[in-house]
């Protein structure tokens, strides 16, 4: 698990290779990732946007940006957390992701909470 804290917002990531959805012969490797966002600050915050950088081992880079996460813009009171699971297809068995969440405090100020870089590695490459 990878973890990073920005301004009291701790983001942790766990990854899973999705063998049942992957088709290696077709260069399709599907990875799931579980994100946990913990508000360890004294402020209530809302997640407004996500911004991802996705890389695979043949040099293909994608950038994904949009509102919220899986259709939600969660509000986190101090000591609250939010968890969600999403997925990412790659053409290769190895890749990585990182990014930011745009967070807004109750007073209207915003900041970017960094999502730690995490590796996407198919189990057959771990040998």
**What count of Cα atoms within 13 Å lies in the side-chain half-sphere of residue 80?**
11
Domain that holds residue 20: 2-122
76-97 pLDDT per residue, tens: 999 999 999 999 999 999 999 9
Phi, psi for 125 (deg, rounded to 5): -90, -5
Give a yes or no: residue 127 inside a domain: no
22-37 pLDDT per residue, tens: 998 898 999 999 999 9
For residue 9, the domain's CATH number is 2.60.40.1470
Number of domains in the chain: 1
The whole-model pTM stands at 0.91
- The full 3-state SS of the chain, as one line of letters, equals CEEEEECCEEEEEEEEECHHHCEHHHCEEEEEEEEEEEECCCCCEEEEEEEEEEEECCCCEEEEEEECECCECCEECCCCEEEEEEEEEECCCEEEEEEEEEEEECCCCEEEEEEEEEEEECHHHCC
Give a yes or no: residue 70 inside a domain: yes
CA 76 to each of CA 97, 99, 113: distance values in angstroms, whole numbers, following the listed order: 24, 19, 13
Give a yes or no: residue 18 inside a domain: yes
Give a yes or no: residue 118 inside a domain: yes
Report pLDDT for 126. 64
Give a yes or no: residue 37 inside a domain: yes
- How many residues are recorded in the chain? 127
**Regions of the chain short of the pLDDT cut 50:** none
Report pLDDT for 127. 60
Report pLDDT for 113. 98
Q: Alpha-carbon distance 78 to 127, whole Å?
A: 42
């Amino acid at each position: 698990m990878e973890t990073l804290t920005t301004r009291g917002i701790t983001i942790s990531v766990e990854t899973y290779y999705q063998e049942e959805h992957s088709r290696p012969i077709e260069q399709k490797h599907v990875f799931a990732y579980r994100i946990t966002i913990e508000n360890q600050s004294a402020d209530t915050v809302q997640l407004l946007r996500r911004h991802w950088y996705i890389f695979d081992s043949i040099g293909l880079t994608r950038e994904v940006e949009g509102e919220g996460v899986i259709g939600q813009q969660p509000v986190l009171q101090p000591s609250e957390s939010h968890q969600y699971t999403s997925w990412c297809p790659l053409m290769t068995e190895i890749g990585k992701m990182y990014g930011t969440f745009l967070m807004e405090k109750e007073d209207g100020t915003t900041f970017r909470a960094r999502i730690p870089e995490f590796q996407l590695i198919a189990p057959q490459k771990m040998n």
